[in-house]
Amino acid sequence: MDLWPDRPSRRSLLAAALAAGAFPALLRHVLAAEVPRFDLGVASGTPRPDSVVLWTRLTGDDLPDEVPVRWELAHDERFTRLASRGSFIAQASSAHSVHAEAAGLEPARSYWYRFTALGQQSAAGRTRTAPAPDAAVDSLRFAIASCQRWDHGHWAAWRHLATEPLDLVLFLGDYIYEYPLLPSAVRLHRGGWARTLDGYRDRHAQYKSDPALQAAHAACPWLVVWDDHEVENDYAGLQGERLQDGFEAQRAAAYQAWWEHMPMPMSARPRGPDLRIVGRLDWGRLARLHLIDHRQYRDPQACPRPGRGGSNTVRLKDCPALDDPRRSLLGWEQERWLAEGWSLDRPWNLLAQQTLMARFETQDRQGDSLRWTDGWDGYAASRQRLLQTVADRRVPGPVVLSGDVHAHYVADLKADFDDARGEVVATEFCGTSISSRGGAQSRVDAALALNPHLHYGRSDQRGAVSFTLAPQQLQARLLTVDDPTDAASTVRVAAGFRVDARRPGAQRA
């Protein structure tokens, strides 16, 4: 498709300028017209049965404080049958981002959308509304993805996912990384540490410049949650990893830039250092999706290194706080919100969240159990409360979707992981990273032997997971990229699993 179908040629504009005898003013205009305005692509998100959020961000250093942007939403790819249209004032205070909400739409429909501003037209994106809450739905096709570290590789996984007929992408965190330029990287981060509003904005803009990511955003609506690197490695609530002063302002800047670059509604706009990403979406009678946040409301990690915040790997017997029931990964309010909101009359409940929920036992040379304190293992009582509620209420089809650890894991979840014969109460699919490097596979192999509830573990694969959900069964395809340093790499299915709606636990497909 022509990206700029309405754009006059530079030569014809110059000729017109000369003919009009108004060269200086018109030359400025002509040169300005050459600045691409939609360089960061388009996106849609937060699909509802009657609405969807349409996103873009205008580019160029010469933008006035306010720029009117028109948007169109059509039933067809050629925009011959418009369903809705409107305008949005992009403001400098929000980095000229657009968060238009197309309302009054029909449920379970595909639409195409595009934007026009400053004489230029954006590429078109495809989006889709959710089914009506009481509609019978045969299937939901979706993918989970996380951890797209720019300087670790290219994003062939996104290029592949853009070609799959997905209803939805669930992005589970680490959309950007805050790290500075590393000279040895596959491709270079622009600038130093992202810690200020300008720094975070520039990092988001750099990531959004990737054509594979733009294609994936333009292909279907996304639901997005974050993890730590959208702000800073291993932060916890209002505590930075370095216990530094001023972290609240840093978090506010990071959340503001994150909201500006995500297809989130205006109503989600952050207030100071707070931004609510927790939410629910019913996909007809088929499934309820729950989106949770384990960064903003958590207690600090247990047993940190001296003088530091953030994660640690500790011996279980040396750190009783790991099991302290007063600590929470989600915060008490969110724990209650989640416990009260499981759907009991749909076959599936999908929990979109950040990190591996399955117990991940590793041992030191003396055979002592080790725990990594940043994940669910660092908040074992919080996990136990969640899974016990799922078991007690007989929550139908609970499937936990995770990212963060840069490895594919497929797991059976239990209220008591120490009981090898204990009841399986939920299933987990932890998707590997789009590009961020994983740890040693030898360590994962050792862990597979110690954790019989893990069916699969591969830290040496980059990719994502693609799912087909039907009333009776969930099918999962674990995707892997042959060469993460090659933007055109082949993407293959590394393994397939299925889950039966009436029986928690993963089975090889």
Binding region for Fe ion (CB under 5 A):
147, 174, 436
Identify residue 349 by its one-letter amino acid code: N
Tell me how far, at minimum, the Cβ of 228 lies from Fe ion, in Å.
8
DSSP string, 330-346: S-HHHHHHHHH---SSS
205 and 194 Cβ atoms separated by less than 8 Å = no
- The label of the residue with tokens 């980095």 reads 95
Comparing CB distances to Fe ion, the nearer of 95 and 479 is 479
Tell me how far, at minimum, the Cβ of 233 lies from Fe ion, in Å.
9
Comparing CB distances to Fe ion, the nearer of 58 and 147 is 147
Tell me how far, at minimum, the Cβ of 148 lies from Fe ion, in Å.
8
491 and 158 Cβ atoms separated by less than 8 Å = no
Total residue length of the chain? 509
Tell me how far, at minimum, the Cβ of 495 lies from Fe ion, in Å.
21
- H-type helices in 393-481, by residue range? 441-450
Rounded-to-integer distance, Cα 207 and Cα 147, Å: 12
Comparing CB distances to Fe ion, the nearer of 164 and 227 is 227
Tell me how far, at minimum, the Cβ of 36 lies from Fe ion, in Å.
30
Tell me how far, at minimum, the Cβ of 436 lies from Fe ion, in Å.
5
Comparing CB distances to Fe ion, the nearer of 168 and 172 is 172
Tell me how far, at minimum, the Cβ of 174 lies from Fe ion, in Å.
4
Rounded-to-integer distance, Cα 344 and Cα 233, Å: 36
Tell me how far, at minimum, the Cβ of 67 lies from Fe ion, in Å.
34
Tell me how far, at minimum, the Cβ of 438 lies from Fe ion, in Å.
10
Give the DSSP letter of residue 10: H
DSSP SS3 for 367: coil
Comparing CB distances to Fe ion, the nearer of 13 and 143 is 143
Rounded-to-integer distance, Cα 231 and Cα 177, Å: 8
DSSP string, 73-100: EESSTT--SEEEEEEEEEEGGGTTEEEE
The H or E element containing residue 383 is: helix 380-392
Residue (of 87, 88, 39, 91) closest to 60 by Cα position: 39
Strands 52-57 and 97-102: antiparallel
Rounded-to-integer distance, Cα 493 and Cα 509, Å: 12
315 and 256 Cβ atoms separated by less than 8 Å = no
1 and 124 Cβ atoms separated by less than 8 Å = yes
Tell me how far, at minimum, the Cβ of 200 lies from Fe ion, in Å.
16
Long-range CB contacts (< 8 A, 24+ apart) of 1-5?
A: 1/123, 1/124, 3/38, 3/121, 3/122, 3/123, 4/120, 4/121, 5/121
Comparing CB distances to Fe ion, the nearer of 48 and 152 is 152
195 and 230 Cβ atoms separated by less than 8 Å = no
436 and 152 Cβ atoms separated by less than 8 Å = yes
**Beta-carbon-side half-sphere exposure of residue 158 (alpha carbons within 13 Å):** 30
Identify residue 123 by its one-letter amino acid code: A
Comparing CB distances to Fe ion, the nearer of 202 and 230 is 230
Rounded-to-integer distance, Cα 57 and Cα 38, Å: 7
Tell me how far, at minimum, the Cβ of 239 lies from Fe ion, in Å.
19
Residue (of 200, 198, 154) closest to 179 by Cα position: 200
Comparing CB distances to Fe ion, the nearer of 214 and 435 is 435
Comparing CB distances to Fe ion, the nearer of 436 and 451 is 436
Comparing CB distances to Fe ion, the nearer of 115 and 155 is 155
Six-digit token string for 262: 């995500």
Comparing CB distances to Fe ion, the nearer of 167 and 230 is 230
DSSP SS3 for 18: helix
Tell me how far, at minimum, the Cβ of 229 lies from Fe ion, in Å.
6
Comparing CB distances to Fe ion, the nearer of 83 and 147 is 147
Comparing CB distances to Fe ion, the nearer of 174 and 260 is 174
Rounded-to-integer distance, Cα 131 and Cα 346, Å: 14
216 and 41 Cβ atoms separated by less than 8 Å = no
